[in-house]
């Protein structure tokens, strides 16, 4: 894939990108949705090397997971969660002490590195908080309100919609306690509109 606008379309049951048949071949890169705060593997390898491997292996997309608490707080990523010598792009060079960049900036760095490799990115809200697994089965709870979720999606849009390779989002992973079309406050079909 090249850095250009991509128009996805469905023709006769087939996905097309800019008029050509297209098959999404993706994988999950998990870790940033949990307590680690960054995708797994960054203590052992440089993110550029991992993304090179993904692209060389024939994949064209990544599903990067996040949680709402980390988006809301947007704190510095913990430098013990990655090896700074391998991943200096995750350091905040503007600080006088060794510190990580913000959570959203960390995601942006990875999205832009994926773009350089021609990889699409699907962002997935996988949890409400880093420790909430499997969580309450809804897209909100007592700590993260539905109004906060909407504000967070606006924040995510501001940060990532300008990136050519962010092609999709998963609004919430497996909202298994929600209903559909019952007229209740937990109706996923209304929340996703």
70-89 per-position pLDDT tens digit: 999 999 999 999 999 999 99
Model's pTM, two decimal places?
Answer: 0.92
Q: Does the structure show a pLDDT above 90 at 104?
A: yes
As given in the structure block, the two tokens for residue 93 are 């060079």
pLDDT category, 112, cuts 50, 70, 90?
very high
163-190 per-position pLDDT tens digit: 999 999 999 998 888 999 898 888 988 8
**What is the structure's pLDDT at 48?**
96
7-18 per-position pLDDT tens digit: 889 999 999 988
């Amino acid at each position: 894939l090249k850095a250009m606008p991509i128009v996805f379309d469905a023709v006769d049951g087939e996905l097309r990108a800019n008029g050509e048949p297209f098959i999404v071949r993706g994988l999950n890169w998990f870790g940033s949705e949990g307590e680690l705060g960054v995708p797994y593997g960054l203590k052992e390898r440089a993110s550029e090397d991992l993304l090179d491997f993904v692209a060389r292996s024939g994949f064209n997309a990544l599903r990067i997971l996040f949680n709402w608490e980390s988006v809301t707080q947007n704190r510095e990523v913990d430098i013990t969660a990655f090896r700074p010598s391998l991943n200096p792009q995750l350091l905040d060079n503007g600080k006088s002490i060794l510190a990580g960049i913000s959570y959203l900036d960390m995601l942006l760095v990875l999205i832009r590195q994926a773009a350089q490799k021609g990889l699409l990115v699907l962002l997935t809200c996988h949890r409400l908080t880093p420790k909430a697994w499997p969580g309450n089965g809804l897209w909100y709870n007592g700590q993260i309100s539905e109004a906060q979720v909407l504000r967070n999606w606006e924040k995510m849009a501001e940060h990532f919609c300008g990136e050519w390779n962010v092609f999709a989002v998963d609004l919430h992973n497996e909202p298994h306690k929600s209903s559909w079309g019952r007229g209740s406050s937990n109706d996923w079909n209304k929340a996703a509109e």
